[in-house]
């Protein structure tokens, strides 16, 4: 759990720093740092669903065809 928390803090910090450096606005930096991880979490969910489907399709291709069933 500690690794997850430290990663979240790092992610927030990087998002804030990049947005602040690009805009020079602390409010925009803060908003991006809050919104970007939330959007990224949703995107990751769909990314995982796609990868699961790809892996399942690959596994099905590797199964031998059974005749007479």
Decide if 31 contacts 5 (C-beta within 8 A).
Answer: no
Q: How far is the CA of 68 from the CAs of 40, 61, 63, 64, 65, in angstroms?
A: 47, 18, 15, 13, 10
pLDDT at 3 (0 to 100) = 87
pLDDT at 1 (0 to 100) = 85
Give pLDDT tens digits for 9-43. Answer: 898 899 999 999 999 999 999 999 999 888 988 89
State residue 67 phi and psi, 5-degree precision: -85, 150
What DSSP state is assigned to residue 67?
Answer: T
């Amino acid at each position: 759990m500690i690794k997850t928390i430290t990663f979240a803090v790092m992610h927030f910090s990087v998002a804030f720093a990049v947005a602040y450096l690009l805009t020079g606005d602390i409010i925009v930096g803060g908003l991006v740092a809050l919104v970007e991880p939330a959007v990224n979490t949703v995107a990751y969910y769909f990314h995982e669903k796609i990868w699961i489907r790809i892996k399942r399709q690959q596994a099905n291709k590797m199964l031998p065809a059974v005749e007479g069933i």
